[in-house]
Chain A
């Protein structure tokens, strides 16, 4: 374990070149997404030959029913799953970084529940008062997620700093409270219950290119923005005061991460509903595989999150085809045992 420059030639003084490492991970991730994405297109209620799928995609063939299934059903759904997985995993990773706590994710902090409540309120208005609010649903979701993160922040703020345990506990409380209001809305509204239930369990079956175009911008822009704060998140790992002594404006950083994170979550939740466990588990696995350096860990989380949700959604729509299983159930079914396994085998030499 001796740490010496390998020879006089080692210009990096024993430090790895993280740029080439990140590039390598991006290349691997990109190709595995292409391959697994193509395999996922083969699953579904109607069997289509892989060669046929290949030619449909290649020739952009949309004039027959098979072409429509691929281009209008499976492909937008696949891309929506990947975008949602990417956003959830990155926000989970950055929240865990900024709060210095590996048990955090947007779901636990109540941000997701806030977004879902906003969406459910919009639906309740639509059915009871006949207001047509569907186009404004993301706005309601965004408002809901901001309200929840602000409440959590207000409840746990102390004079100078933000104790993480308080933050997590108020997050859990807000989460339960908002979920209870959603359940209440479900109980009192006679119509629209089905579309509300959708928000509680997560569902990608209504994916369309239009929805993809709504999610794509916040998901990509937010991911890039949060990755650009990676070095500051690394400093936060040393402690809030240590980060301040390293020149990080921790209050501003927190605001930055919380606002962009809530925006990403609202965009995703308003089209997919609540999908748990991705934001919690994926950053852990990423840390285990590539180490805790956020400059590498966050991009790795983005790729693994999109792969994970892509696989879960494929399972959700094919295990009991033509019936669908809510995707939230699949992510938890796979995620929870995986998480427990990771916790059990964790030791001090691991990178997380």
Chain B
């Protein structure tokens, strides 16, 4: 851990409960810039809630969430939208917008209501579509394209928001192998270029291991362990959290652990 660099996101003693049902308890966490951070854990362990607490959509009952060393509660929503953008798990777009219109919505936090958008807003949207390889269907409508294409459009929209932190909620749910690979390439590329860090919730442990520099394993609203994929994904941890005995093998080319049944 680089001692000089300051954490970009930190949670200090954060507890959150939903209808007096505790979801997250006493979370202490510091996330440092330059990393792809994966959050894993069984269903209902509080993964998505953690993302929402960081982006300020939910407010913890106890503790403090800080982004850039500022309490999230003091950051206005519009300013927050310029810092963090979010790729939702699966979302239904209510009306049949064109792809280019959806990607352009990433510019909304920057557009002055009375002056309107400027040409750089168009340029940024265009570039985001180019990077995610979605220019080919920019003129199509959202209900016309496949699930994988929709996910890429959502990532393009999130990149068009020019955030410093990108958050994703199980971005690979129901995706083909090729899509998973392409999207993780796009994300790694963005992390190198402009993003301070990526925080992603994963359902797929192998993909989490493939993408992440640092993994957070959640269990019943508490952090079980944090570390590199090598440190986190081992039989002891997984058996304790998932309550089944997994087999762990090493990836033949990359030195990362992979889980098989």
Contacts and interface: CB of A to CB of B under 8 A. Distances in A.
Contacts of B135: 2-4
Contacts, number: 125
B100 A237 contact: no
Contacts of B161: 246
B95 A352 contact: yes
Contacts of A234: 97, 101, 105, 108
Interface string B102-143: 101110110101001001001101100100000111111101
B91 interface: yes
A351 B140 CA distance: 10
Nearest to A288: B96
B92 to A, nearest CB: 7
Interface centre among B79, B80, B102, B105 (most CB of A within 10 A): B105
| A contacts with B: majority SS | loop
B109 A237 contact: no
Contacts of B93: 237-239
Contact of B96 (A228, A242, A351): A351
Interface residues on A, range: 35 or more
A244 B91 CA distance: 14
Contacts of A147: none
Contacts of B106: 246
Contact of B100 (A15, A246, A247): A15
Nearest to A237: B94
B55 interface: yes
Interface residues of B, number: 52
B126 A14 contact: yes
Interface in A75-94: none
B85 interface: yes
Contact of B95 (A13, A228, A292, A349): A292
Interface in B14-44: 18-19
A275 interface: no
Contact of B125 (A11, A13, A231, A292): A13
B97 A292 contact: yes
Given A1-B137, A245-B57, A245-B81, A349 B108 contact: no
Interface string A100-138: 111000000000000000000000000000000000000
B82 interface: yes
A15 B85 CA distance: 23
Q: Give 7 closest A-B pairs by Cβ, nearest first.
A: A247-B81, A3-B138, A292-B95, A247-B78, A100-B94, A13-B126, A247-B109
13 contacts: A1-B139, A2-B135, A3-B138, A13-B123, A231-B108, A237-B95, A245-B55, A247-B78, A293-B97, A293-B101, A351-B95, A352-B95, A352-B96
Interface of A: 1-5, 11-15, 19, 100-102, 159-160, 228, 231-232, 234-239, 241-242, 244-249, 287, 291-293, 348-352
Interface of B: 18-19, 52, 55, 57-58, 77-82, 84-86, 88, 91-98, 100-102, 104-106, 108-109, 111, 113, 116, 119, 122-123, 125-126, 129, 135-141, 143-144, 157, 161
